[in-house]
Amino acid sequence: MKAKKSYGQHFLNNEHLAERIAQLLRPELAYQRVLEVGPGKGMLTKYLLDQDFRLTVVEADRDMVNYLQRHYPALKEDIISADFLKVPLDRLFTEPFALIGNFPYNISSQILFKMLEYRHLIPEMVGMFQLEVAERIIAPPGNKVYGVISVLVQAYYEGEMCIEVDRRNFTPPPKVQSGVIRLTRKAETEIGCDEKLFRRVVKQAFSQRRKMLRNTMKSILTDQELLADSFFNQRPEKLSVADFVQITKWIEERR
């Protein structure tokens, strides 16, 4: 299991930690398959293979693919040599699967957005991120790191911090600490409004997070609309996912 940075790769070196991460998956959520992103030399893979589901791994590094083929013959055809971000997951899976991995820091947000795109297939995700990113994903309203990624992920998933990981658990050690979070899909996978508009509303609201909505939302709403309701005197970090959904519905009704 590895994390990629532009200057190199960082391999998890703690066997006990790898086993703990693998055990965070909960097959009782009615999935039989698991997709691991970026397995590297298989530190996590070996413990996933011990569990009672079918494992598929996606690895972009050809050298690591060759290593996995030699050392984990049990995977057979379930090793996919590809860039995860370019893999059409609905062609790979026709049934629910869990997503797991020590995600490359530089594309971790893109991995989350892809998870959201295929959320109808992904009831659970267990992932290692840079710690500050992990904290941002699961931050509640009112928290200083609550932002765009918090709202967009929490619209569909419940999140929790499971393990904080010291940089010394990697070889070579990265410059930052890491955190493992678990995301569990909500029972309702639709939010009841135009999702494209919802994303636009959230991103626009946080474009200047210290300003009130009546200042940041001028590209979407008129001054008259923004001044008509005291709701828009709030700052975005105070709003819940439900609040952002309500704003989106309010805009839809007026358009």
- In order along its 255 residues, the chain shows pLDDT tens digits of 443 433 346 789 999 999 999 999 998 888 999 999 999 999 999 999 999 999 999 999 999 999 999 999 999 899 999 999 999 999 999 999 999 999 988 899 999 999 999 999 999 999 999 999 999 999 999 999 999 999 999 999 999 999 999 999 998 888 999 999 999 999 999 999 999 999 999 999 999 989 999 999 999 988 988 888 889 999 999 999 999 999 999 999 887
192 annotated ligand binder: no
SS3 141: coil
Structure tokens given for 134: 């992990």
- Quick one: which H or E segment has residue 48? helix 45-48
DSSP β-bridge partners for residue 98: 34, 124
233: annotated binding-site residue?
Answer: no
Q: Where do the domains of the chain lie?
A: 2-185, 195-254
Rounded Cα gap, residues 78 and 58, in angstroms: 8
The CA distance from 113 to 116, in Å, is: 5
Q: How far is it between the farthest Cα atoms of the chain?
A: 66
State yes or no: 102 annotated in a binding site. Answer: yes
Q: Are 18 and 43 a contacting pair, CB within 8 Å? A: yes
Return the amino acid letter for 91. Answer: R
pTM exceeds 0.85 for this model: yes
CA 176 to chain centre: 18
- Which CATH architecture describes the domain 2-185? 3-Layer(aba) Sandwich (3.40)
Top CATH class, 195-254: mainly alpha
Distance separating alpha carbons of residues 77 and 18, to the nearest angstrom? 23
89 assigned ligand-binding residue: no
How far apart are alpha carbons 86 and 70 in whole angstroms?
A: 25
Annotated ligand binding at 59? The verdict is: yes
| Residue whose token pair is 């997070």 | 209
Structure confidence at residue 9 (pLDDT): 63
CATH fold match for the domains 2-185 and 195-254: no
12 labelled ligand-binding: yes
